[in-house]
């Protein structure tokens, strides 16, 4: 399988990982939701609840005059992070999207805050959302990894990712979320290597 975006008009599935509900909305663990929310604004649509237990929006991204850009299904699983694989797998089956056209946006502890890395395949590195996705779909999907850094001192990892971004981090958060959304658009319109060259910090 190649990693370039489709000539043709096959859709992509772009899933942002997070936990549903206002209690979690500003958490580091929810940065995937934040990025997909911004992509939804760019696509000019609104999410609706799908029977697969996800909020979904079908539209297009990255268009220019004369070319509407590729079709995408934007998704936010509503099953909580550690069960993300069920909804994403069900959406992939419903829309007939192969895992080779699945992009997952998630928080990454092993990258400093705001650092971005794009890759295809690999392990879950202890991330419960990725663990669930890989169990459901295999590991051959694209990952857009948003750095949230390691917890300070002896803070528990779960406490760190389930806390809101700090006041200092929030000053740059909109910029980093915007840049991550740009990276997703580049991946689905131009392919992995151009996206890596442009955005792997």
Whether residue 75 contacts residue 91, with contact meaning beta carbons closer than 8 Å, is answered with: yes
Q: What is the pLDDT of residues 163-199, one digit of tens each?
A: 999 999 999 999 999 999 999 999 999 999 999 999 9
DSSP 152-191: STT--HHHHHTSBPPHHHHHHHHHHHHHHHHHHHHHHHH-
Q: What is the pLDDT of residues 70-103, one digit of tens each?
A: 999 999 999 999 999 999 999 999 999 999 999 9
pLDDT, residue 8, reads 57
In order of their start, the domains of the chain are 12-199 (3.40.50.1470)
Give the C-alpha separation, 73 to 172, whole Å: 27
pTM: 0.93
Whether residue 5 contacts residue 189, with contact meaning beta carbons closer than 8 Å, is answered with: yes
Q: What is the pLDDT of residues 20-66, one digit of tens each?
A: 999 999 999 999 999 999 999 999 989 999 999 999 999 999 877 77
- Taking the CA of residue 69 as centre, how many other CA atoms within 13 Å lie in the half-sphere pointing to its CB? 19
The catalytic site residues sit at 29
């Amino acid at each position: 399988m190649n990693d370039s975006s489709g000539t043709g008009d096959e859709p992509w599935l772009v899933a942002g990982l997070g936990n549903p509900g206002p209690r979690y909305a500003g958490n580091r663990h929810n940065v995937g939701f934040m990025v997909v929310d911004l992509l939804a604004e760019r696509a000019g649509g609104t999410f609706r609840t799908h029977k697969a237990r996800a909020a979904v929006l079908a539209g297009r991204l990255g268009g220019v005059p004369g070319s509407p850009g590729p079709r995408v299904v934007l998704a936010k699983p509503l099953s909580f992070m550690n069960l993300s694989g069920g909804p994403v797998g069900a959406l992939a089956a419903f829309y007939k999207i192969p895992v080779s056209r699945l992009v997952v946006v998630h928080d990454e502890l092993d990258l400093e805050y705001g650092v971005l890395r794009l890759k295809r395949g690999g392990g879950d590195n202890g991330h419960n959302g990725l663990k669930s996705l890989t169990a459901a779909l295999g590991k051959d999907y694209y990952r857009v990894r948003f750095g949230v850094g390691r917890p300070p001192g002896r803070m528990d990892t779960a406490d760190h990712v389930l806390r809101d971004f700090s006041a200092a981090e929030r000053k740059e958060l909109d910029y980093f979320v915007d840049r991550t959304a740009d990276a997703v658009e580049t991946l689905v319109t131009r392919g992995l290597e151009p996206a890596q060259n442009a955005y792997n910090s």
